[in-house]
């Protein structure tokens, strides 16, 4: 089925269909002229996406549902909590807007310049109002701190490991004697040995650890002690099923530690900082995640800090890391 036919059937414009195709939600076939042919499975998927978008479910969550239908109920419950937070925010914004109208303030400049309030509490109230409006208008995207590998990246790494181990094992066997390869036994030994050492090499070097922060909940994934399961989950894109799942209300406190490090290659020694998040949970569990202070990660770290503050998580910030983030704006 051509894209024009899909447009007509579903009353969905071609840009939207191509966008979902680009995200990998669809799997159209191409004819000899290179045109996409959408299958009935694609049509069914588009209907699901349209229904879920009508519920205002984010695309990140829709992707999880499409990959695993069993996730629907769990995601629906999470989405309900997000909607409840938005309702509460709107109610708070409404009340504060009513207060402003009762003050009969003619211009926004008067609010900002402080002409219509006399105490710090009201100043704080106005700032909170603006912050709430901004938070509601610009909801957080999914923020990931740490290493989260895609299936493509993992396959690429596995292939690289196989090449390295293969060459090393081939060199070892050639030292033992070239005659091993004349009767084929050497090649069998090489293939079996390479495979075994490749598995061991990969398991030793593989470590996946990340924190994924969403609107109302977050996931902690660590492949330690379950590396084979983790590799399988990455390839199937089901790491969320192995990850520990928490809501922000489950956090007792988060301690931020900043370590100064010295490193650098080629340009001499260079100072940089490593940020350690220590999550202490109400159930007694403790988790740590490191995040080096590279420039490209600053916005993610700032967003994580803002999310934790927004959910009133107790943050122990002895080194005033928040001030560093504000200065970088």
| Alpha-carbon separation of residue 166 from 19, 205, 216, 307, 312 (angstroms) | 41, 16, 46, 46, 53
Q: Are 107 and 101 in contact (CB under 8 A)?
A: no
Domain for residue 147, yes or no?
Answer: no
> Are residue 96 and residue 160 in the same domain, yes or no?
no
* Inside any domain, residue 22: yes
Residues 41 and 80 grouped into a single domain: no
- What is the bridge-based pairing of β-strands 251-263 and 315-316? parallel
Residue 67 lies in a domain: no
For the entire predicted model, the pTM comes to 0.47
Q: How many separate domains does the chain show?
A: 4
Domain of 44 in residue numbering reads as 3-54
Q: What is the pLDDT, as a whole number, of residue 242?
A: 85
- Residue 100: what pLDDT? 72
- Same domain? For 49 and 119 the reply is no
**Is the domain of 305 the same as that of 255?**
yes
Q: Mark whether 19 and 81 lie in a shared domain.
A: no
**Per-10-residue mean pLDDT for the chain, 329 residues long?**
90 84 86 86 93 87 87 88 85 80 62 50 53 49 77 84 76 62 64 77 80 81 84 84 85 85 59 78 85 49 73 80 56
Is residue 16 in a domain? yes
Give yes or no for a contact between 67 and 25, defined as CB atoms under 8 angstroms apart: no
Whether 320 and 289 share a structural domain: yes
- In this prediction, residue 329 carries a pLDDT of 47
21 plus 84 within the same structural domain: no
Distance in angstroms (rounded) separating the CA atoms of residues 13 and 8: 9
For residue 11, being part of any structural domain is answered with yes
3-class DSSP string for the chain: CCHHHHHHHHCCCHHHHHHHHHCCCCCCEECCCCCEECCHHHHHHHHHHHHHHHCCCCHHHHHHHHHCHHHHHHHHHHHHHHHHHHHHHHHHHHHHHHHHHHHCCCCHHHHHHCCCCCCHHHHHHHHHHHHHHHHHHCCCCCEEEECCCCHHHHHHHHHHHHHHHHHHHHHHHHHHCHHHHCCCHHHHHHHHHHHHHHHHHHHHHCCCEEEEECCCEEEEEECCCCHHHHHHHHHHCCHHHHCEEEEHHHEEEEEEEEEEEEECCCCCCEEEEEEEEEEEECCCCEEEEEEECCHHHHHHHHHHHHHHHHCCCCEECCCCHHHHHHHCC
* Per-residue model confidence (pLDDT) at position 327: 47
Question: What pLDDT, on a 0 to 100 scale, did the predictor assign at position 293?
Answer: 42
What is the distance between the alpha carbons of residues 74 and 182, in angstroms, rounded to a whole number? 60
Cα(197)–Cα(193) distance, rounded to whole angstroms? Answer: 6
Tell whether 229 is covered by a domain.
Answer: no
Domain shared by 120 and 162, yes or no: no
- Say if residue 260 is in the same domain as residue 292: yes
CATH code where residue 43 lies? 1.10.1660.10
Report pLDDT for 38: 93
In a domain, 216, yes or no: no
Cα separations (Å) of 302 from 113, 155, 321? 27, 32, 10
Looking at the domain assignment, is residue 179 inside a domain? yes
Tokens of 125: 């109230």
């Amino acid at each position: 089925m051509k894209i024009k036919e899909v447009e007509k059937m579903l009353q969905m414009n071609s840009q939207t269909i191509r966008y979902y195709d680009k995200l990998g939600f669809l799997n159209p076939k191409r004819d000899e002229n290179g045109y996409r042919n959408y299958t009935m499975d694609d049509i069914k998927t588009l209907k699901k996406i349209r229904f879920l978008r009508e519920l205002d479910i984010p695309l990140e969550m829709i992707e999880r549902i499409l990959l695993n239908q069993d996730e629907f109920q769990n995601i629906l419950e999470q989405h309900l909590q997000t909607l409840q937070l938005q309702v509460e925010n709107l109610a708070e914004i409404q009340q504060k807007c009513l207060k402003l109208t009762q003050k009969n303030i003619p211009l926004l400049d008067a609010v900002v310049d402080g002409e219509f309030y006399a105490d710090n509490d009201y100043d704080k109230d106005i700032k909170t109002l603006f912050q709430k409006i901004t938070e509601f208008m610009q909801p957080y995207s999914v923020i990931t701190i740490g290493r989260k590998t895609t299936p493509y990246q993992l396959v690429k790494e596995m292939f690289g490991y196989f090449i390295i181990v293969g060459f090393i094992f081939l060199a070892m066997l050639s030292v033992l004697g070239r005659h091993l390869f004349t009767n084929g036994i050497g090649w069998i030994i090489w293939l079996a040995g390479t495979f075994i050492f490749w598995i061991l090499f990969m398991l030793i070097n593989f470590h996946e650890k990340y924190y994924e922060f969403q609107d109302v909940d977050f996931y902690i994934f660590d492949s330690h002690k379950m590396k084979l399961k983790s590799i399988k989950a990455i390839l199937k894109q089901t790491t969320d099923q192995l990850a520990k799942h928490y809501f922000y209300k489950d956090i007792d406190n988060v301690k931020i530690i900043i370590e100064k490090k010295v490193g650098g290659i080629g340009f001499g020694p260079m100072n940089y900082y490593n940020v350690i998040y220590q999550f202490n949970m109400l159930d007694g569990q403790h988790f740590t995640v490191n995040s080096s202070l590279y420039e490209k990660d600053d916005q993610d770290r700032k967003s994580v800090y803002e999310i934790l503050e927004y959910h009133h998580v107790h943050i122990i910030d002895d080194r005033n890391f928040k001030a560093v983030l504000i200065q970088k704006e």
